[in-house]
Amino acid sequence: MFYFDPNRCIGCHACSISCKQRHDRDADADDWRTVTHLERGEYPDFQELPVSMSCMHCHDAPCEQVCPPDAIVKREEDGIVTVNRDRCIGCHYCAWACPYGAPTYGDDGLMSKCNMCLGEGPGSGHGKPPKQKAEDGGLKLSCVDNCVGEAIKAGPVSEVMEEASEAAARRFENGAYNSRVIVEPMDEDSAAGMDDVADASINADDEGAAAIPAGGSDADGGASDWLNG
């Protein structure tokens, strides 16, 4: 599972580049690890938060469920979701199913995505031995290795939880993001904080907004995905 701390992320995209280079992928190919800069507010009440995302290797991987040729597998041994490009038919169903936009497609039409550096290159790691710790010879995750702010971590849930703050752990346990990733809340002291969440350019009666504060159990699937899913 991945962990992300937006307080430490400086939005430098080192993770995106590091991943691309580790897996020998061209610059114009789609990123397996994306960095998005989310802007809110009007100058000077402005905030811009960078977010780094990749495949979350979800415990309930929707991609695995919909893949017709069973090319996508969440491995028993180490929980990494891999793709077998010898079976992939390039139907793109997994891209629709994924709540994080993780699958990417190359010129060959086949799917590839983050494999937690189980191997090198698209589709690598499929069917291979379990992921090893770095000290046992396993590849350290490239994005984790080169994150300037040390904002990205990965590992078994128990280990990652130890590194997370109480607040992050608490809302993870409450079901934030369907328990697929741990994300730190923003530091209270950050500048230009927006005190009124409901005001955040979402209509108050919008189900998406309603999904976020208390009781976000709406049927609005993904929008409430962050909590209670």
Partner 1 sequence: MTSSLIALETFVGFRWLPADYWDLSIPVYLYLAVVAGGAYLAGASAWFRRTLGGGGGRLEPELIRWGFLIAVVSAAGAGLAVMSHLAVIYRALLFPIYLTNFSSWITIGTWILVLLSVIATLCLVLALFGEDAAGEDGQSLWPRAVVSKLGILPTVDRLVDRVRPPTGALVALHAVGSLFAVATIYTGFELAIVETVPLWNEPVIVPALFLTSGVAAGVGLTLAVSLLFEREIGQLAGGYAVAVGLLSGVSLLIAGIGWSEIAAGGMAANASHGALTEGTLAIGVLVVALGLALPLLVGVALGAAAALGRLPRSVERAGGPLLIASFGLLTVSGLLMRILFLLAAEQHPVVVVA
Partner 2 sequence: MAERGGGPSLSRRSLLKTTGAAAGLAGLSGCVDFIEGDEDRDLGRLGEAETAFGNCWMCHHACGQQLQVNDGTIVDISGVDGHPRGSAGPGTEGTLCPKGLGEMEKAHDPDRITRPYVRKDGELQEVDWDEAFAYTADKLRDLAETHGPETFLDASSWTTTNLHEVVWRDLYGTPERIGRGRHVCFGGAHLSGNLMGVGADMRFVDYQNSEYIIAWGRNIFESFAGQWEPKGVLEALDNGATLVVIDPRHTPTAQKADHWLPIEPRTDGALALAMAHVIIEEGLHDESFIEEWTHGFEAYEEAVADKTPEWAAEITGIDAELIREIAIGFAEAAPAAGIALWTGVGQYAESQKASQNVFALNGLVGNIDRPGGLRLWQGPPFSDPFEVRDIDLPNNAADETPALRKYDEYADQPYRHTTGIGHNIVPEMVENGHIRGIYTHYDNPINDGNSEAWMNALDEMDLVITVDAYWSELTRRADVVFPEAIQLEKDTLIDYAPAWSAYHDRRWMTASEAAVEPLGDSKPGFQILRGIAEEMGWGEYIPWESEAEYNEDMLANVEYSFEEIAEQNYVILEEFGYEAWRENGFNTPTNAFQFDLDEMDAYVRSIEEVEEMEGVDLETGPQWLPPGTLGEMPDEEYPLHFYDTRSVFFAFGADQPLSQQRSQYAARHGLKSADYEGNYLTINPTDADPRGIETGDMVTVESADGAGELMAYVSERTPPGFLTAEFGFGEGVPHEEGFNTMMLHTEGVDPLSSQPDRHIPIEVHANGGDGA
Q: Which of 27, 76, 195, 204 binds partner 1 (CB under 8 A)?
A: 195
Of the pair 6, 79, the CB lying nearest partner 1 is at: 6
- Answer yes or no: are the C-beta atoms of 72 and 53 closer than 8 Å: no
Segment interacting with partner 2, rule: CB under 8 A, options 22-30, 96-104, 170-178, 208-216:
22-30
Q: Give the CA radius of gyration of the chain.
A: 18
Q: Which of residues 58-97 bind partner 1 (CB under 8 A)?
A: 62, 65-70, 87-93, 95-97
Token look-up 């409430």 returns 224
H helices of the chain, in order, are 14-22, 62-66, 93-97, 142-146, 157-163, 166-173, 207-210
- Per CB under 8 A, the list member of 15, 116, 151, 227 interacting with partner 1 is 227
Residue 111 identity (one-letter amino acid): M
Q: Least distance to partner 2 from the beta carbon of 34, Å?
A: 7
Beta bridge partners of 34: 53
Per CB under 8 A, 10 contacts partner 1:
no
Cβ-based nearer residue to partner 2, 8 or 208: 8
| Residue 41-60 contact track with partner 1, rule CB under 8 A, x = bound | ------x-x-x-x-------
Strand residue runs (E) in 41-100: 47-53, 72-74, 81-83
Nearest to 116 by CA among 105, 106, 130, 104: 130
Q: Per CB under 8 A, which of residues 165..204 are in contact with partner 2?
A: 187, 189-192
In 3-state terms, what secondary structure has residue 206? coil
Q: Distance between CA 189 and CA 184 in Å, rounded?
A: 14
Q: Can residue 120 be called a binding residue for partner 1 (CB under 8 A)? A: no
Give phi and psi for 77, each to the nearest 5: -65, -40
Nearest approach in angstroms of CB 167 to partner 1 is 7
Enumerate binding residues for partner 1 (CB under 8 A): 6-7, 36, 38-40, 47, 49, 51, 53, 62, 65-70, 87-93, 95-101, 105, 108-110, 167, 170-171, 174, 176, 183-186, 188, 190, 193-195, 197, 200, 202, 206-208, 211-216, 218, 220-227
